[in-house]
Structure 1
Amino acid sequence: MSQTVTAEPQPLSGGALVGGVICLAMANFLAILDTTIANVSVSSIAGSLGTSTSQGTYVITSYAVAEAISVPLTGWLASRFGSVKVFVTCLIMFGVFSLLCGLASSMSMLVTFRVFLGLSGGPLMPLSQTLMIRIFPKDKSHAAIGIWSMTTLVAPIMGPILGGVLCDQFSWPYIFYFKVPFAIVAGICCWQLIKGFETKTKKAAIDKVGLGLLVVWVASLQIMLDEGKDHDWFASSRIVILGIIAVIGFIAFLIWELTERNPVVDLKVFRHRGFAASMLTLSLAFGAFFAITVVTPLWLQIYMGYTATISGYSTAMMGIIAVFLAPLIASASSKFDPRPFVFVGVMWLGLWTYLRAFNNMDMTFWQISMPMFFQGIGMPLFFVPLTAIALGCVKMQEMDSAAGLMNFIRTLSGAVATSMVNTSWENETTYVHSELSGLTDKAGVAAHAMQASGMTQEQSLGSLNWLLQQQSSMVATNQIFLWVAVIFTVGAFAIWLAPRPVRSIGGGGTH
């Protein structure tokens, strides 16, 4: 059904604006939260459903693949059916499939429902972004960007904490159940509050070839990234085949979408230099940010003896300042050139990552957590103005496509960073362990002392090996942080490839 919008709707105000903001922010928060909430519960889910932990990882992979596929389709879906209809439908479906995930009685059922959950959750991120900008008065659009960015930054940090608490205190289905009422109520309220902001629609035939190529290369890449470490990467023919399919599929996808009259993903927005440069900075900086949020809880849980919940509390320190700074930075970056804000924010993240590259095994909870607390200042400082630059340089009719691509690149950067940092961290730990093992206790003084205190030979050797493993992981973690600091630095300088924005985002988009 085609809908014609004859006049620009008036922005919301008062209670209606507050309600609309809460519902849109809730949708974005839930969709991003689901990318990390199951991470700490994989072993519990696998054990409950009678499968191995390696099979349990498909709970994460299935959602990530489906979400990565549906996010860039947002622009086409919005132009075909209308932004509000697509948003509300996806939000209610998200609630329904969350319920079905919790009720799943087998791994195959759970993975199937997670696929549909990812397909439903993908469009929520970019549409919540563009709809929030539309419901605000034009002179307050920076507040919309600030609120949306705040939920985007906090949600992936909160995921493991909520997942750990719900799984520990109740059981794994509750990591899905708790989202149901929020999603369905927010969907119903959104329809009542923002249906007047529906966008124009056009009956465009779906680009079936483009959609097929998108599914092939994204699915191949995601599965390759998830399974590569377990199959020794390219020593496995399975990983090699997946890599070849991903590369060929991606090249074919680019060629087809750039020449198709009605592409399923509008790649032409990359013709705007500001958007392209912003996406380069985003891919580097967000990938680096995701890398340190992945390796930190792993190190804390495996080698520092932290529980999943306590390590989550430590990592969550990065999000505290972001909650309060995001709206303020959004206001400031709307009045001044946003590029210096991005540069300082990404460099700040890199500086604190460099300082964290000198950690040791004797550090307390607060010695680990406080640097992350101050590092959090850089998160809104780079992400909020970067969003303004990216969406402020595209045309109004390209907003949904640009927002979809921005969220797709962010999601893909996180997936690539997670795989790379996991593999690099384990490989480096193994390498350092092998190097140090030949240099440790050559004369056997420590082993003899342990045996003299009552340990058996096996116990003393096991104890020495564990101490060596802890130190090896510490060295590997510090080296990862050094490399990540370098990536942050490169990402910071990349923003200067963007021209100074000549317009800001308003309630009606750019002009």
Structure 2
Amino acid sequence: MRPLKRQILIITVICAAIMELIDTSIVNVALSYMSGNLGSTLEDTAWVITSYAIANVIIIPMTSFLSAKLGRRNYYIGSIILFTLCSFLCGNASGISELVLIRFLQGLGGGALLSVSAAVVYEQFPKEKLGIASALFGIGVFIGPTIGPTLGGYITENFSWPWIFYINIPLGVAAATSCYFLLPEPAIKPKAGSIDWTGIILLTIGIGSLQTVLERGQTEDWFATGYITVLTLIAILSLTAFVFWELHTPNPVVDLRVLKSKSLSIAAVLTFITGMGMFTSIFLTPVIAQRLLGFTPTETGLLLLPGAIIAVFALIATGKMLQSGVSPVLVIFIGFISFIFFNWSMSQITLETSTSYITYRLIFRALGMALLTVPLSSLAVSSLPAKDMPQGTALNNMMRQLGGSFGISIITTFSTRRTAFHRTDLITNITDGNPLVTQRINNFTSYFQTKGSGLAEAHQKAIKMIDLSVVKQSTLLSYLDSYLLIGLLFALALPLLLLVMKRKTGPVKMVLNDH
């Protein structure tokens, strides 16, 4: 392939991956608008995010098989078309059930835009330049979910929420057209046997049940609800049977045998933790900014923009550092430390925290993610033969998405329980004998009396204001605890780097130094 065509192809598939990943977070800041417009509760509207995530996690590990069975070119272009068509249908949905279903189908199309795109990018570079390939693809992996809230906030505030889906249409048409003329079949075509329907069914049931439990467990009081208990058992049995079946069937839909590669296994675990951090921070920060600090959707999105811009340069610099011989273990370590610092510093904010404070801290998040994305992606495929790279890439990407789903579910449960804890703790200080409370109630009462309320009515409103203050403060404290929890999980994952250092630093470094 000529250099110009090769460059256009790389740009196309990276843009397709960015488009897919933007849709994982662009909806976050628009949920309230969608809820009001579609006449649904915020809880039900959240399934617009959940259904997309479920479809992604189901389809991503199957992309290698589907590419082999249908032909990579046909499968990839078909997925772009499905994703683009569903984007149009999402914007025209008339009810929440319809929108959730279409988002699921959109997620099925989007899965290929992530995994196949990565495989295509890696193919365009010799093995000694995997660091550069990972950096280029890492731009999409990081920038997509990061600029999603920025873009979603601007579109929602200045236009209307359907446009967060409509913007995919011209990009999808352009990507499909470009790939039609430029995308080749892989040089080494993997063999595709008979369709592993058993594996597909077990994976779909297992992941679907698991995601439902994670998303609805806290709302339904976990195992106090019958269907949550049943779905948990179904998830355990289905996924256990799936692993056993895939390891023993001759034509697995997901070739789990590639996990014999120690570098891929270690990278997958670290990528899972990274996914938790990436998606939970994108989830927590907009919620705090909008619901507690009073930021508009546009202001909330702009908080993330400086970090996203810096991350682009950091990703490119990381790829060059790996090429020049810097140990990937050192880069990963610095990335983890940056993200731990981000979570600790965010756990110190108050209701009076300035915009600049949060923006500067989000830069550390961006740097942390940038420093993790490239070496982890390189590590995942560094010891795999060319024929197994698509499967390895797919599994590693699945771990990132699954980590995000687990992380958001854990944080939702944790923050809900911590809110109740902090509320109880704060209420114990609100007594008739507390002079500060008495003064606050009197001030509120006087304020409402000046607005025309009678004494009794003004006093009741004052009590409600105190209660709202308690709710707001306890909610903030629970989110701060959530940041600390994620930082702790990153700290606990640090010892895994010793396994990478002992077993893989040499080979990976040697491969990257051949340039």
Task: Check the 8 A contact 1:342/1:492 in 2, yes or no.
Answer: no
Say if 2:425 is the partner of 1:421.
Answer: no
Residue in 1 that maps onto 2:381: 391
Say if 2:473 is the partner of 1:484.
Answer: no
Residue in 2 that maps onto 1:348: 338
Measured in 2, the distance between the counterparts of 1:435 and 1:320 equals 41
Task: Check the 8 A contact 1:296/1:315 in 2, yes or no.
Answer: no
Task: Check the 8 A contact 1:392/1:501 in 2, yes or no.
Answer: no
Say if 2:473 is the partner of 1:471.
Answer: yes
Say if 2:122 is the partner of 1:133.
Answer: yes
Residue in 2 that maps onto 1:448: 442
Amino acid of the structure 2 residue aligned with 1:372:
L
Measured in 1, the distance between the counterparts of 2:352 and 2:213 equals 37
| CA deviation string 1:398-450 (max 9, x = no partner) | 11111111111111110111111122112212210111111135432332344
Task: Check the 8 A contact 2:188/2:387 in 1, yes or no.
Answer: no
Give the CA RMSD over aligned residues.
2.3
Measured in 1, the distance between the counterparts of 2:219 and 2:391 equals 35
1:280 to 269, 278, 301: 269
Amino acid of the structure 2 residue aligned with 1:249:
S
Name the CA shift for 1:113/1:494 in 2 (closer, same or farther; >3 Å): same
| CA deviation string 1:202-230 (max 9, x = no partner) | 34101111111000010011111222232
Q: 1:252: how far off?
A: 1.1
Measured in 2, the distance between the counterparts of 1:340 and 1:190 equals 37
Say if 2:228 is the partner of 1:236.
Answer: no
SS at match of 2:44: helix
Task: Check the 8 A contact 1:388/1:505 in 2, yes or no.
Answer: no
Q: 1:20: how far off?
A: 1.4
Q: 1:175: how far off?
A: 1.5
Q: 1:105: how far off?
A: 3.2
Unaligned segments of structure 2, at least 5 residues: 450-457
Residue in 1 that maps onto 2:189: 200
Task: Check the 8 A contact 1:33/1:159 in 2, yes or no.
Answer: yes
Q: 1:137: how far off?
A: 5.2
Name the CA shift for 1:464/1:252 in 2 (closer, same or farther; >3 Å): same
Residue in 1 that maps onto 2:455: none
Measured in 2, the distance between the counterparts of 1:170 and 1:145 equals 35
Q: 1:490: how far off?
A: 1.9
Measured in 1, the distance between the counterparts of 2:489 and 2:504 equals 23
Measured in 1, the distance between the counterparts of 2:171 and 2:130 equals 25
Q: 1:502: how far off?
A: 5.0
Residue in 1 that maps onto 2:63: 74
1:330 to 304, 307, 319: 319
Name the CA shift for 1:392/1:35 in 2 (closer, same or farther; >3 Å): same
Name the CA shift for 1:375/1:160 in 2 (closer, same or farther; >3 Å): closer
| CA deviation string 1:63-120 (max 9, x = no partner) | 2221211100011112223333322221222212212222333434333322221111
Say if 2:90 is the partner of 1:105.
Answer: no
Report which stretch shifted further, 346-355 or 40-49.
40-49
Q: 1:365: how far off?
A: 0.7
Name the CA shift for 1:53/1:463 in 2 (closer, same or farther; >3 Å): closer
Of all paired residues, the percent bearing the same amino acid is 27
Say if 2:48 is the partner of 1:59.
Answer: yes
2:367 to 358, 371, 377: 377
Task: Check the 8 A contact 2:275/2:402 in 1, yes or no.
Answer: no
Residue in 2 that maps onto 1:457: 459
Q: 1:503: how far off?
A: 4.8
Measured in 1, the distance between the counterparts of 2:382 and 2:391 equals 13
Task: Check the 8 A contact 1:291/1:417 in 2, yes or no.
Answer: yes
Measured in 1, the distance between the counterparts of 2:31 and 2:442 equals 41
Amino acid of the structure 1 residue aligned with 2:504:
R
Measured in 1, the distance between the counterparts of 2:481 and 2:40 equals 35
Report which stretch shifted further, 66-75 or 306-315.
306-315
Amino acid of the structure 2 residue aligned with 1:416:
F
Amino acid of the structure 2 residue aligned with 1:40:
V
Where has structure 1 moved over 6 Å in runs of 4 or more?
Answer: none
Within a 5 Å distance, the mapping from 1:23-62 to structure 2 comes to 23-62=12-51
Measured in 2, the distance between the counterparts of 1:195 and 1:54 equals 43
Name the CA shift for 1:454/1:214 in 2 (closer, same or farther; >3 Å): closer
Report which stretch shifted further, 65-74 or 77-86.
77-86
2:504 to 494, 497, 500: 500
Task: Check the 8 A contact 1:25/1:128 in 2, yes or no.
Answer: yes
Q: 1:266: how far off?
A: 0.9
Amino acid of the structure 2 residue aligned with 1:496:
L
Name the CA shift for 1:261/1:139 in 2 (closer, same or farther; >3 Å): closer
Task: Check the 8 A contact 1:285/1:491 in 2, yes or no.
Answer: no
Amino acid of the structure 2 residue aligned with 1:112:
L
Measured in 2, the distance between the counterparts of 1:506 and 1:264 equals 33
2:245 to 256, 263, 267: 256
Unaligned segments of structure 1, at least 5 residues: 1-9
Name the CA shift for 1:199/1:104 in 2 (closer, same or farther; >3 Å): farther
SS at match of 1:218: helix
SS at match of 1:172: coil
Amino acid of the structure 1 residue aligned with 2:389:
M
Amino acid of the structure 2 residue aligned with 1:451:
T
Task: Check the 8 A contact 1:76/1:264 in 2, yes or no.
Answer: yes
Residue in 1 that maps onto 2:299: 310
Amino acid of the structure 1 residue aligned with 2:373:
F
Measured in 2, the distance between the counterparts of 1:431 and 1:263 equals 47
Name the CA shift for 1:248/1:363 in 2 (closer, same or farther; >3 Å): same
SS at match of 1:358: coil
Residue in 2 that maps onto 1:3: none
Report which stretch shifted further, 281-290 or 250-259.
281-290
SS at match of 2:293: coil
Name the CA shift for 1:149/1:477 in 2 (closer, same or farther; >3 Å): same
